[in-house]
Amino acid sequence: MGGIPSLIRDGENGLLVPAGSPDALAQAPGRLAADPDLRRRLGDAGRRLVESDYGVERAVAAWLALYQELVPAAAPGRG
pLDDT surpasses 70 at 74: no
DSSP state of 71: S
- Residue 26 lies inside a defined structural domain of this protein: yes
- Residue 78 lies inside a defined structural domain of this protein: no
Contact in structure between 18 and 25 (CB atoms under 8 Å): no
What amino acid occupies position 14?
G
Integer angstrom CA distances of residue 62 from 15, 25, 49, 57, 65: 29, 35, 17, 9, 5
Q: pLDDT tens for residues 3-25?
A: 888 889 999 999 999 999 999 99
Contact in structure between 4 and 16 (CB atoms under 8 Å): yes
What average pLDDT does the chain have? 88
Q: In total, how many domains does the chain have?
A: 1
| Whole-prediction pTM | 0.67
Name the band, by pLDDT with cuts 50, 70 and 90, for residue 45.
very high
- Residue 16 lies inside a defined structural domain of this protein: yes
- Residue 77 lies inside a defined structural domain of this protein: no
Distance CA 24, CA 3 (A): 19
The β-bridge partners of 14 are 10
- Residue 59 lies inside a defined structural domain of this protein: yes
- Residue 49 lies inside a defined structural domain of this protein: yes
Q: For residue 40, what are the domain limits? A: 4-70
Please tell me the least confidently modeled range out of 27-31, 32-36, 46-50, 72-76. Answer: 72-76
